[in-house]
Structure 1
Amino acid sequence: MERPGDAELTAMLAALDLYDGPFLADAPYFDPAAATRDALSGTYRDLAVAATRALCERGQYLRAASIGRRGIERDPYCEEIYRSVAAAYLAAGDTAAAARIRESCRTKMYDDLGISIDWDQAESGRRSAAVTRL
């Protein structure tokens, strides 16, 4: 994916601010809403990852981490969001925060889903280094 321009990033951030949780959350078993609910949730997740990466590319690491953490709150099972946040913290020089995000991901995935996630900070560091070179 090519780097979004400033107007595109602004639109992404505005869309993220507009999302107020799952569509018709008070009617979780209303089948006609399920497809829309899933699509909107997926769009939010994808925008959170894209905005986190775009902010990192602009050197706005802590803002990127903040947006990514909002994404984690909305979709705590999306490993890609955790990785983006960890990369943002590493790029900002906060290795402890990156380690906490990594451990949070590993614990959440294992405790809730029985999935072992094993990614090291060196991999995230390579990602953050690639971002800072842009």
Structure 2
Amino acid sequence: MAPPERLAQSWWTTSSNRRFCRSCARTFPAKLLIYTGEAGQDTHLKKEFAHHDFTSHGVDEYFLGDVHTNTIEVYFSIFKRGMRGVYQHCGRQHLHRYTAEFEFRCNTRTANGVTDTERAALILKAAKGKRLTYRRPDARASS
């Protein structure tokens, strides 16, 4: 079984300036169709991808033909609900782990054609050979 295509990718940052957005965008193939909101840091995407279009929420435009941002808004909503409801005390040093979990959930959801059995097999395959401990097993306790 091949791992699912990465439909969602997450990065943790303290700011979303143009330079950061550009470095994230370079991780995607140039043939993608990119749909965003009207944020100013996204204006360079038209040069880097086959097609970039956006909606203008400021003038009550939430879709334009096939162009919408509902998918990412739902993804962020579920992430935010999880972080505020389930994982209430998450330190910065662990945030990448939480974003990876929600990314995995999104990419392996039933709507993408992944069954529960396939999802469980992917989880077990990723955990193979790893010990789930809070501290490194060779670290000595300081007394």
TM-score norm. by structure 2 comes to 0.27
More helix by percentage: 1
TM-score norm. by structure 1 comes to 0.28
Pair member with larger Rg: 2
More strand by percentage: 2
